[in-house]
Amino acid sequence: MADKREKAAETAVLVIGLGRFGSALASTLDRLGRDVLAVERDPELIQKWSGRIPLVEADATNPEALEQLGARDFQVAVVGVGTALEASVLITGNLVDLGTQQIWSKAISAEHGRILTRIGAHHVVYPEYDAGERVAHLVSGKMLDYIEFEDDFTIVKMRPPREMHGFTVGQAKVNRKYGITVIGVKPPGRPFVYATDETRIDAEDLLIVCGDTTLLERFAARP
């Protein structure tokens, strides 16, 4: 029985704050079958989400309240409070004091993020900035989806430029010309295939490409 409880604690996620970010995170984790516990002190949000996700009413800025709800048993916690900077910092600090192994904290500015990092947050996320940057890439070219990793490495789903239509990956020579790599091709109505030099590309296909962010932006901007 003890082993089961320990295993549950390893996979469970504590989500503090049920604003747009926190509620989307908690409800998605719950839908995916992850053990999740949401913490909120706003009566309106509690009423809205009660019965939809596991939820407790508590003030997470109070370390005693976190202790009472069993926050110490969670190895992963997400602080979804962002606009209330003082509350965000206090909650993150409380989780640090509890020894939470992974603390994800939402920030609304670079300064806010630096504070959270200094007090011990392991991961700082900027939902509004990241969403804005992603949408900017999507509306500026042929990109249909955009994921940027560290060190300016990016994976993109996009329509092929006109110059590739009717050619194979090898014939198009995109790696030599543009410094990016075609990972796979998804023809309409057919399964995704990993790309080889012999893979043909047509106008209606979807490409999965990766490489340096700047090089991909140039490639996606081609007619």
CB 151 within 8 A of CB 177: no
Radius of gyration of the chain (CA): 22
CA-closest candidate to residue 13, choices 65, 63, 54: 54
**Predicted pLDDT at 9:** 52
Question: Helix (H, G, I), strand (E, B), or coil: what is residue 15?
Answer: strand
* The domain boundary residue, chosen from 59, 92, 125: 125
Q: Is 68 left (phi over 0), alpha (psi -120 to 50) or beta?
A: alpha
The Cα-based distances of 196 to 36, 57, 79, 81, 172 in angstroms read 42, 54, 43, 46, 12
Which residues face 157 on adjacent strands? Answer: 145, 208
Same domain, 111 and 138: no
Cα–Cα distance, 90 to 116 (Å, whole number): 10
Residues 86 and 144 in one domain: no
**Residue 93, C-beta contacts closer than 8 angstroms, at least 6 positions apart:** 119, 120
Considering the domain architecture, whether residues 213 and 180 belong to the same structural domain is answered as: yes
Helices (H), the chain: 2-11, 20-31, 43-49, 63-68, 85-98, 110-119, 127-139, 169-172, 174-178, 213-220
DSSP label of 188 = T
Residues 119 and 150 in one domain: no
CATH of residue 177's domain is: 3.30.70.1450
DSSP E strands in 132-223: the ranges are 143-148, 153-158, 167-168, 181-186, 193-194, 200-201, 206-212
52 and 144 within one domain? no
26 — phi, psi (to 5°)? -65, -45
Same domain, 111 and 152: no
Examine the domain organization and report whether 90 and 144 are in the same domain.
no
Residues 152 and 181 occupy one common structural domain: yes
What domain range includes position 166?
Answer: 131-220
Statement to judge: residues 22 and 117 lie in one domain: yes
Last residue of some domain: 125, 155, 177?
Answer: 125
Among candidate residues 125, 143, 158, the one where a domain is terminated: 125
* Tens of each residue's pLDDT in the chain, 223 residues: 334 334 445 679 999 999 989 999 999 999 888 899 999 999 999 999 999 999 999 999 999 999 999 999 999 999 999 788 999 999 999 999 999 999 999 999 989 999 999 999 999 998 877 777 777 766 666 778 878 776 778 898 999 999 999 999 999 999 999 999 999 999 999 999 999 999 999 999 999 999 998 888 888 888 8
Q: Do residues 87 and 141 share a domain?
A: no
Residues 107 and 65 reside in one and the same domain:
yes
118 plus 207 within the same structural domain = no
- Domain total for the chain? 2
Pairing of strands 206-212, 181-186: antiparallel
The CATH number of residue 45's host domain is 3.40.50.720
